[in-house]
A and B are shown apart, each in its own frame.
Chain A
Amino acid sequence: MTEHILEMKNITMTFPGVKALSDVSLEVSRGEIHAICGENGAGKSTLMKVLSGVYPHGTYEGEILFENRTVGFQNIRESERLGIVIIHQELALSPHLSIAENIFLNNEITKNGFVNWNKTNQEAQKLMAKVGLSEDPNTLVKNIGVGKQQLVEIAKALSKKVKLLILDEPTAALNDADSEHLLELLRQFKHQGMTSIIISHKLNEIAAIADKTTIIRDGLVIETLDMHNDSVNQERIIKGMVGREMNNRYPSRESQIGEELFRVEEWTVHHPDDSTRVVVDSVSFNVKAGEIVGLAGIMGAGRTELARSIFGHSWGIGISGRTFIKGKEFQLKTIRQAIDAGIAYSTEDRKRYGLNLIDDIKRNISMASLKNFVKLGLVNANEEYRIANEYRTSMNIKAPSPNSIVGKLSGGNQQKVVLSQWINVNPDLLILDEPTRGIDVGAKYEIYTIIQELASQGKAILMISSELSELIGICDRIYAISEGRLTGEVEKSDFSPELLMKYMTMTRDEMTKEDTNA
């Protein structure tokens, strides 16, 4: 009875030197929600690009059957014509156009060659109702939140008479409420008979919504799990993804905590666009040698702003407060001063702020420590190569050589390059802003190991993360920040998600109340 809407047979895709997909077969039944899981770089996105015609027919081997007909798309337009619509992780909306304009972009409702605006808005409204978006269709897309933008993308897909909707990491940028709404929407579509393929790292969502889950690892299909089978749970999926039981998602470690290494007192920062807005409000904290300290907070709590303002005033204006390194007061007014004083900051957004993607591994690793390679005024490129090669081996950066271009590496490997870059300046304090964002489970484990290794060398680590479980897993102490203020300091023995979450969501009023009680 199960009719396959899509069959991909023995797909093999080879890039120069790399087999991205080897002999991959995928069957999707009509009306199901089919999840695809795999570590970053496993080949999920490549598979979807083959399906949607981003990689045109002929560049891959194998056969694609859509509704029992062999298809070979030359571009996305051809796949969309048959009702296969892919929504990418980075939304493809034009921010200065309205919702209605975006929905019918490149698919405009015209009459005699002119756009029929009344019809456009009317149709847009209908589609928006279907996805539960109650906004004026004339609202500009830049003025609605990212959750609603996601809905606009889906409305756009519906306007193309979609039969198979592919969502690549749809909830990565959404908050819980928006994510929940999106998942509910997918369930509704399923009942209306639509088929969806969802690529996600969030295993709890997959467990909640998917009918089947296909796991891809190293370009191979490992297995397809029936999610209605009781024995299939998150651990089961993880096992398939990494090829080993991940009972212990965090490496264990004996902490050896030494003297206080870094201290901030009464740190206050104002917003660069609005000098009256206090973003970080008299924050004081310390980090000891060999200690991993977590900084927990929801997005917008001021975590990154705190870190970057400490790192050579690289964010914010009207910065006041004092910084001490090994008990001695230091002025850290430029990034250079901060680096020279022994502080490193690895950014939360490695592609935008961390790496020169068009350059190679070795020159990215030496970027912040270039002067160490200079002899008689000239950079010793061979020495640079040697050092980079050492990091490539010790950090397990998967690339053929230190001359490989960083932009072509997977997220986890890029993150290792960023870490290498900062380890190479030999800092005492490493501020790691979301060091595992957007990277897969296996690479995360490696990153944790590296962080712990650094701590055991006596370095102080300040780690910012949105994932509470990760902070609890590897930190010795956690500070919680909310609305620019430190709201709690929790020792390892008292770690619990509930307590941290309470501190992280504390409002300004509650803080003042607690202050008066104390």
Chain B
Amino acid sequence: MPKVNEKVSDRINGLKGRLGGVDLRQNAIFIALLALVGFFALTSPNGCSITPDNWSNLVVQNGYILVLAIGMVMVIIAGHIDLSVGSVACFIGAASGILAVRPLEQTGWDWVPKFSWWAAIIGAVVIGAIVGMWQGFWVAYVGIPAFIVTLAGMLLFRGLALITLQNTNIGPYPDSFRLIGNGFVDKENSLGHALGMKDYNATALVITAVGVLALLLQSFATRRGRIKYNQVVEPRVWFLVKNILLAAMIAYVGVQLSQANGIPWTLVLLVALVIIYTTVMKRTTFGRHIYAIGGNLHAAVLSGINVRRVNFWLFVNMGALSALSGILIVARMNSAVPKAGDGFELEAISSVFIGGASVQGGVGTVTGSMVGGMIQGILGNGMNLNSIGIDFQMTTKGLVLLLAVAFDVWSKKRTK
């Protein structure tokens, strides 16, 4: 090929690469999320969907689904599914009650010593990991499809939850235990009082500021690193607009929360999990192996990846996160009940798919799933505020899931 042509095609490719740096799909769900917030801000009575208290509610109400969605997206990227997470959350919630609360005599658990709140939480997560080992064993080492193993697990662990609860509810939970699902960082605003700020929770503002700063620094560092290695990066304008928008949104939510009770501990936990798991998925061999297995199992095997081990630990991880979710539920409800977590597996799975994961595996992100989960959460919350019944809520959520995936399929076809 003559040189001139090469130059032209290089430039075309360069341009394509630059546009390729903008991930349309991820941005689309983000815009959908913003549109939804805007829509409910306009339609809810007195704009109550964007009051500080409602922002606070949104986080706390959806925390347990989002925690499940983190584990679920990993399972789905690897090409599996987990239908048991709702039941496991219920079971572990009950088990944490037995550890943290003195159970009634008629449950037969009164021989278990009462643990301090933190030991109960750790204990519950360990039990969750053991549940995960059980499922991981059948999936990874016996080779039964995860759909079957976790369908069985859905019944099995709901059953174990009922056995554990013995027709009673366990509760109330110790106050320290409840903080994780229901508490706020520096709720009394002691920092604010010291500084003379009464209307705003000062601690929340400080945390928000630090968070925004850290996010911006991280984005710039990543961009600089890529440029140093002569990689194609997003156009500068787009990069700046995106990051400023994102920072403004976080700042907005932070300020809103500071006008309510401050930052919920659930949010702290969630942000920590999102950072940890995004790193795991993007930057550790474990995460990269998950993508490889989901993308092409045979190629992963022949590359020397220990697929069984990865699958096993995936389910252990899912079990531990289900346990965390269960803890959040009981901490918020202040009691472990037999119906807890019912249907949560489906909400977690929807979050993951709305968030851009592929049914075939190999594709998906933690942050995408969080946005997917928030879209569902805001839909439910907004419709509640507009006094729309559960009937129409379910109908709408079903359509949203379908349309989100349809959009995905359609946009993929377009790029082909």
- Whole-angstrom distance between the Cβ of B11 and the nearest chain A Cβ: 10
B363 touches A385 (CB 8 A): no
| Residues of chain A with a CB closer than 8 A to B12's CB | 17-18
- Whole-angstrom distance between the Cβ of A424 and the nearest chain B Cβ: 11
- The listed residue (A16, A18, A363, A421) touching B288 by CB distance below 8 A is A363
| Residues of chain B with a CB closer than 8 A to A381's CB | 282-283
- Binding site secondary structure of chain B: helix
A358 touches B363 (CB 8 A): yes
A352 touches B298 (CB 8 A): yes
Bitwise interface map of B from 279 to 300 toward A, beta carbon under 8 Å scored 1, else 0: 1001111001101100110111
* Chain B: CB-nearest residue to A422: B303
A353 to B15, CA, bound (A): 33
User: Count the A residues whose beta carbon is within 8 Å of the partner chain — how many?
Assistant: 41
A45 to B174, CA, bound (A): 69
A334 to B303, CA, bound (A): 11
A17 to B16, CA, bound (A): 6
Binds B, one of A244-252, A263-271, A367-375: A367-375
B229 touches A379 (CB 8 A): no
Given known A-B contacts A371-B285, A379-B283, A339 and B304 have beta carbons under 8 A apart: yes
B285 touches A357 (CB 8 A): no
* Chain B: CB-nearest residue to A355: B299
B229 touches A385 (CB 8 A): yes
Q: Identify which of residues 348-399 in chain A touch chain B, using a CB-to-CB cut-off of 8 Å.
A: 352-359, 363, 367-368, 370-371, 374, 377-379, 381-383, 385-386, 389
A16 to B17, CA, bound (A): 10
Q: Check: B302 CB closer than 8 A to any chain A CB.
A: yes
A379 touches B284 (CB 8 A): yes
| Residues of chain B with a CB closer than 8 A to A335's CB | 301-304
A377 to B280, CA, bound (A): 10
A325 to B188, CA, bound (A): 70
A355 touches B306 (CB 8 A): no
- The listed residue (A367, A371, A377) touching B299 by CB distance below 8 A is A367
- Whole-angstrom distance between the Cβ of A20 and the nearest chain B Cβ: 12
B226 touches A382 (CB 8 A): yes
* Chain B: CB-nearest residue to A408: B416
A336 touches B306 (CB 8 A): yes
A367 touches B16 (CB 8 A): no
A345 to B299, CA, bound (A): 11
Bitwise interface map of B from 296 to 316 toward A, beta carbon under 8 Å scored 1, else 0: 101111111110000000000
A150 to B298, CA, bound (A): 28
A356 touches B296 (CB 8 A): yes
Q: Check: A400 CB closer than 8 A to any chain B CB.
A: yes
| Residues of chain B with a CB closer than 8 A to A357's CB | 295-296
A379 to B229, CA, bound (A): 15
Bitwise interface map of B from 357 to 393 toward A, beta carbon under 8 Å scored 1, else 0: 0100011000000000000000000000000000000
B13 touches A353 (CB 8 A): no
Q: Check: B190 CB closer than 8 A to any chain A CB.
A: no
User: Count the B residues whose beta carbon is within 8 Å of the partner chain — how many?
Assistant: 40
Q: Check: A108 CB closer than 8 A to any chain B CB.
A: no
- The listed residue (B289, B298, B362) touching A353 by CB distance below 8 A is B298
- Whole-angstrom distance between the Cβ of A188 and the nearest chain B Cβ: 38
* Chain A: CB-nearest residue to B306: A336
Q: Check: A347 CB closer than 8 A to any chain B CB.
A: yes
- The listed residue (A359, A368, A377, A421) touching B291 by CB distance below 8 A is A359
A335 to B302, CA, bound (A): 7
* Chain B: CB-nearest residue to A312: B304
A368 touches B304 (CB 8 A): yes
Bitwise interface map of B from 140 to 178 toward A, beta carbon under 8 Å scored 1, else 0: 000000000000000000000000000000000000000
- The listed residue (B17, B229, B303) touching A367 by CB distance below 8 A is B303
| Residues of chain B with a CB closer than 8 A to A401's CB | 13, 17, 231-232
Q: Check: B47 CB closer than 8 A to any chain A CB.
A: no
* Chain B: CB-nearest residue to A335: B304
A8 to B298, CA, bound (A): 41
A386 touches B298 (CB 8 A): no
Q: Check: A410 CB closer than 8 A to any chain B CB.
A: no
A311 to B291, CA, bound (A): 23
- Whole-angstrom distance between the Cβ of B224 and the nearest chain A Cβ: 10
| Residues of chain B with a CB closer than 8 A to A400's CB | 13-14, 16-17
Given known A-B contacts A356-B295, A356-B362, A374 and B302 have beta carbons under 8 A apart: no
- Whole-angstrom distance between the Cβ of A310 and the nearest chain B Cβ: 13
- The listed residue (A314, A336, A378, A386) touching B283 by CB distance below 8 A is A378
| Residues of chain A with a CB closer than 8 A to B292's CB | 356, 359, 363, 367
A377 touches B284 (CB 8 A): yes
* Chain B: CB-nearest residue to A373: B285
| Residues of chain B with a CB closer than 8 A to A371's CB | 285
Q: Check: A403 CB closer than 8 A to any chain B CB.
A: yes
A370 to B12, CA, bound (A): 31
- Whole-angstrom distance between the Cβ of A249 and the nearest chain B Cβ: 22
Q: Check: B413 CB closer than 8 A to any chain A CB.
A: no
A18 to B279, CA, bound (A): 35
- Whole-angstrom distance between the Cβ of B221 and the nearest chain A Cβ: 11
B285 touches A355 (CB 8 A): no
Given known A-B contacts A367-B303, A368-B304, A400-B16, A355 and B232 have beta carbons under 8 A apart: no
| Residues of chain A with a CB closer than 8 A to B226's CB | 382, 385
With A335-B303, A339-B304 given, name 7 new contacts (CB 8 A). A17-B15, A356-B292, A367-B303, A370-B285, A386-B229, A403-B17, A421-B303
Task: Name 24 A/B residue pairs within 8 A (Cβ), A-sorted.
Answer: A16-B16, A16-B415, A17-B15, A218-B1, A335-B302, A353-B302, A354-B302, A355-B296, A356-B291, A358-B358, A359-B291, A359-B362, A374-B284, A377-B284, A379-B282, A379-B284, A379-B288, A382-B225, A382-B226, A382-B228, A382-B231, A385-B229, A400-B14, A401-B232
